[in-house]
Amino acid sequence: DGSTWTEITDMGGNKYQCVNAGTTTAALVGGGVDGYQPPPLTEVEEYNGTSWAEVTDLGAARYSFLQGVGTQTAALAVGGRTPSVTDIVDEYNGASWTSYPALNTGRASGAASGSTTAALAFGGDGPGELGVVETFNGTSWTEDTALNTARSLGGSAFQASNTTSIYFGGNPKRVITEQWNGTSWTETADM
């Protein structure tokens, strides 16, 4: 709540390295693995601010997604592992998952932000750390200006479009922060 953590209703199943989207009162989480090892899961759950409910499964089981894109009723599951690195992208419309145009570069453990019609996918591994950046315009993915420092497992803040974002931390350069302005990445105050 801004000052303390409170445990709330638990999910229906264990999930690690899963796709996520939404807000604190309308969240979506799915895929991943139960524990630290494959096989990957297809199970997806929605949170309504009070409880979790299982909804339609992902079309392809995978884990180590790029971080979530969109809202609970309009989300993308981008990349990941099946257990090999994949370029698969699926779109969720609040009721079911459908196949979306694939990434140009398959990868896992990176970041993504934006919406189902204006997304940004950046960083990751496949194998080795990647600096690859792709923008999505609702129809196709296009390779764009690369990160200054290739890395995976960083964090990003949710953005509603593909014209602004931030990527911080990650492996192997864990203090670096870069900001995207729609055309290029600039290193800003490191953690």
SS (H, E, C) 49-88: CCCEEEECCCCCCCECCCCCEEECCEEEEECCECCCECCC
Tell me the C-alpha distance between 61 and 141, whole Å: 22
In the chain, DSSP finds a helix count (H) and a strand count (E) of 0, 16
How far is residue 46's CA from residue 13's CA, in Å, rounded to a whole number? 12
Looking at residue 124, what is its pLDDT? Answer: 96
- The residue count of the chain comes to 191
pLDDT for the residue numbered 164: 87
pLDDT number for residue 172:
87
Residue 79 CB neighbour total at 10 angstroms: 28
Q: Quick one: pLDDT at residue 115?
A: 92
Write out pLDDT tens, residues 119-144.
999 999 998 999 999 999 999 999 99
Q: How far is CA 127 from the centre of its chain?
A: 18
What's residue 159's pLDDT? Answer: 75
In terms of Cβ atoms closer than 10 Å to its own Cβ (0-12, 13-18, 19+), residue 67 is buried
- How many angstroms separate the CA atoms of 44 and 84, rounded? 21
pTM: 0.91
Which stretches of the chain drop beneath a pLDDT of 70? Answer: none
What is the bridge-based pairing of β-strands 52-55 and 69-71? unpaired
